[in-house]
C-alpha cells in the first residue's frame, strides 16, 4: 500500500492523504481518503492466479473542479463512480484496482 499512498500524494500535491481514517480524525482539505474494498481474483484450473486489490478513493475539496479529479480518472484501472456534496464539500468517488509492484 506504500506505493499507492505515494502515488495519491503526488496526484493531490500534498500529504493530506488518509487510509481508512478514524471518525475522530480532523482532516485538512483538499484531501484524498482511500479504503480497501474487495479483491478481483482471476482463476485457472480452480486456483487463483491473479489477485488485484480494489480501493475506494475519494477526493474531498471545496473546489468542485480540483485538477486531481482528471488525474485520478486517468489512472489505469480507475473509474469515476459518483459525485456528491456534503457539508459544503465536494466528494468525487473512484474505484481503483491497484497492485503493488514487488
pLDDT tens track for 3-58: 999 999 999 999 999 999 988 999 999 999 999 998 888 898 888 878 888 999 99
Average pLDDT over residues 54-82: 96
Please name every residue paired with 48 in a beta bridge, in sequence order, or none if there are none.
Answer: 43
pTM across the whole model: 0.89
Domain of residue 52: give its range. Answer: 2-98
d(CA 40, CA 102): 18
* Gap between the terminal Cα atoms of the chain: 11
Question: What cell was used for 57?
Answer: 478513493
Domain count for the chain: 1
Domain with residue 36: its CATH number is: 3.30.2000.30
Question: What cell was used for 87?
Answer: 457539508
Amino acid at each position: 500500500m506504500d506505493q499507492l499512498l505515494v502515488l495519491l500524494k503526488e496526484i493531490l500535491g500534498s500529504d493530506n492523504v488518509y487510509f481508512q481514517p478514524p471518525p475522530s480524525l480532523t482532516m485538512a482539505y483538499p484531501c484524498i481518503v482511500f479504503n480497501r474494498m474487495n479483491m478481483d481474483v482471476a482463476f485457472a484450473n480452480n486456483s487463483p492466479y491473479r489477485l488485484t486489490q480494489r480501493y475506494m478513493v475519494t477526493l474531498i475539496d471545496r473546489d468542485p473542479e480540483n485538477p486531481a479529479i482528471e488525474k485520478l480518472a486517468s489512472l489505469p484501472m480507475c473509474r469515476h463512480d459518483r459525485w456528491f456534496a456534503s457539508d459544503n464539500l465536494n466528494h468525487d468517488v473512484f474505484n481503483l484496482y491497484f497492485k503493488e509492484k514487488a
